[in-house]
Structure 1
Amino acid sequence: MQKVTLRFSHNNPSCLPDYRNHSRSLKKVLQELNIPTWQRKRIPFLYYDDELVAAIGFFVCQAYVLQESEPSLHITWAS
């Protein structure tokens, strides 16, 4: 059974955001995006099983970017 979770912490996984060509640690990606340290604890991270899918509002990992021919689910995050 697959599990989708939303977390506000992470264990610094390696990730490949949709806008990058090479993977990097999540901590480094958040630094590249100039997100202040205090704000990083407020970012919702979407996981599928235990694999990072997205940092909501910032990026989606390439493996989960929607392809036109695939069925999809659209989620809107409002704070």
Structure 2
Amino acid sequence: MSSDNEARKRELCRQRVARHRARRKAGLYRFAGDLEGAETEDALIELGYLKPDQADDAAAIHAALMEFIASGLRAAFRGL
């Protein structure tokens, strides 16, 4: 492997670690998971987190899902 490729790989690794540390410093967690698209959109719409006309908007779905999770965590915390 060329030294340019190795340098690029090291730089990408440094950037990834820096992003991870910045998220942790900000108190954020990163997670990934697979959800059934139609069921998730329907649930978010029914619960009022997503408008029906936004069902094809990935950014709107992401924002609605994040708000759903955050509100669930807040509710659970208040219930303790």
Same structural fold, with TM-score higher than 0.5 when normalized by the shorter chain: no
Give the structure, 1 or 2, with the largest relative contact order (CA under 8 Å, sep 6 or more).
1
TM-score after normalising by structure 2: 0.29
Q: From the two aligned structures, give the one with the greater strand fraction.
A: 1
TM-score after normalising by structure 1: 0.29
